[in-house]
Amino acid sequence: MNILVLNGPNLNMLGIREPEIYGDRNYAALVQFVQDAAQELGCQVDIRQSNHEGVLVDWIQEAYGRFDGIVINPAAYTHTSVAILDALKAVALPAVEVHLSDVDSREPFRHISYAGMACKKTFKGLGFQGYKEALKFLLEL
C-alpha cells in the first residue's frame, strides 16, 4: 500500500516554538517517525510539506491513480480551505486527518475542519503517534 502523507503550513517549524502545544521534536523527527512507522507496518509513504494551499491541492489531485490513500494534516488550512476539501472529494481516495494537538480543546476557530468532512477518520491530540494511527487505519480499511 502506497500512502501520501501531506503536511500543511508551518509544520516545518515544529520544535521551534510552542513546545507545550506541539512538542519539542522538529519536522525532521516527524518525517523519521512516519518513515519508521511505515516500515514497521509494511507500507510505503511519500511525506511532503508545503506552506501553500495550491501546492497541497495539486499534490492531492496528482495522488489520483498513484496512491492508495492520503494522510493529511492541513494545519491552519484545516479551518479555512474549501479548496482542499474539494480536492479530497474529487480524488475520492480514502483519507485520514491528523492533528498533533487536540484542536477541540483550543480556540473555537480550530473546532471546524473542512478537510475533515472528506476524511474517514480524524486523530487529534496524539502528537506524532496520530500519524501512525492514521497509517494503521488505512491499512485496516
Question: Do residues 138 and 37 lie in contact, with contact meaning Cβ atoms separated by under 8 Å?
Answer: no
Q: Give me the residue whose beta carbon is nearest to ligand CA2.
A: 101
Which of 52, 77, 79, 99 is labelled catalytic? 99
The residue ranges that bind ligand CA2 (CB under 6 A) are 10-11, 13-14, 16-18, 22, 73, 75-76, 78, 99-101, 103, 110
| 22, 77, 114, 131: the active-site residue | 22
Give whichever of 1 and 80 is closer to ligand CA2, judged by the CB atom.
80
In angstroms, what is the minimal distance from the CB of 13 to ligand CA2?
Answer: 4
Q: What is d(CA 29, CA 16) in angstroms, rounded to the nearest whole number? A: 13
Q: How far is the CB of 11 from ligand CA2 (least distance, A)?
A: 5
Are the CB atoms for 73 and 132 separated by under 8 Å?
no
For 15, 46, 58, 100, the CA distances from 90, given in Å and listed in that order, are 34, 20, 12, 26
DSSP state of 135: H
Residue (of 60, 56, 75) closest to 3 by Cα position: 60
Closer of 20 and 42 to ligand CA2 (Cβ): 20
Tell me whether residue 64 or residue 109 sits nearer to ligand CA2 (CB atom): 109
* CB closer to ligand CA2 out of 67 and 128: 128
**Residue 49: Cβ within 10 Å count:** 20
Q: Catalytic site residue 99?
A: yes
Q: Confirm whether 111 is a catalytic residue.
A: no
Cell 482542499 belongs to residue = 84
In the complex, the smallest distance separating the C-beta of residue 133 from ligand CA2, rounded to whole angstroms, is 13
Which residues are part of the catalytic machinery? Answer: 22, 99
